[in-house]
Structure 1
């Protein structure tokens, strides 16, 4: 496993094995919902590894979901707080389908709320959400995920698709960045 740059230390928060077990449990919970024509919509970029593992686990639990992607940004000039923008929209027909939005982390709730409302307005039969991490300390919107992997401390996390300036997405675990440690 590649080490982080000398200036950063990444402390493991959730190991690859812990994540794999939780993804399988999430897939089982989603499969138990008896979704009709399921469409998994991954929010890019951070969810790409999570959604790949999740759809394979859904298959193992007997589902055959279609997958599509939406690329949403809400960072503005800083790390958060700008208006939610659609950089790439879902191309699949959503009308009458059970949709599961998959995202890496639920923090303020602005992006998830925007995505849920947008897909519901396009005629989805139901819109559920599955997030790998729930960082409740940052919540500003009244929104909760239907399926949650882990509660996340109010710390900056990387790995398993999540990044710091496009670094660390490749890590097989989720870790906390400890600069200069």
Structure 2
């Protein structure tokens, strides 16, 4: 199946223009939170496109954060979360006394982000804020609140804009879902 054949079956939820507009709005909301000595930590892999665009929007809004990455897993080789989060790649930057903005693609169960937030708070971050592109509040398994949310997401398995299924669809400039046959 060619790339064109694979992408034509994706229904658009949020198009590229709406995502770009929302990123600019989120950047303004982050500025309004008055972060100090800000370090942005993108949770890989799904957030990489969102994080890059949001960081550029933050620059346009007058922020110049330091940028870091963390890779966490609660799945490993399974298709269902184990509930146990593991750090696969840690940040290198000292967070003690700094404001941290965790960026992730989607907040569902909340396990991964709650783990990351607790980890960074335990390392002495002054404040740990959470920004997610998509939120599915009805899927929450642990208590966590996102400070900044791009969009409320219907209960679909979403792809595009960095999110994948079996390593496909990350390159799409929009967020969509694959309709059930």
CA contact (8 A) 1:9 1:179 kept: no
Any gaps of 5 or more consecutive residues in structure 2? none
Q: Does 1:34 align with 2:34?
A: yes
Q: How far apart, CA to CA, are the structure 2 residues paired with 1:82 and 1:112?
A: 12
* TM-score in terms of structure 1 length: 0.94
* Structure 1: tracts of 5 or more residues without a match: none
CA deviations 1:81-136 (Å, max 9, x no partner) are: 34111000011010000000000000000001000000000000000000000011
| Equivalent residues in 2 for 1:1-181, closer than 5 Å | 3-5=4-6, 9-76=9-76, 77-180=78-181
Aligned length in residues: 178
SS in 1 for 2:34: coil
- Structure 1 segments (4+ residues) deviating >6 Å: none
Q: CA deviation at 1:34?
A: 1.4
Query: Is the 1:46–1:161 Cα contact (8 Å) retained in structure 2?
Result: yes
Note the alpha carbon deviations across 1:60-97, whole angstroms, 9 max, x for none. 11110000000001114123234111000011010000
Tell me, in whole angstroms, the C-alpha distance in 2 between the residues paired with 1:57 and 1:5. Answer: 30
State the TM-score, normalized to the length of structure 2. 0.94
Residue 144 of structure 1 and its aligned partner are, at CA, apart by 1.4
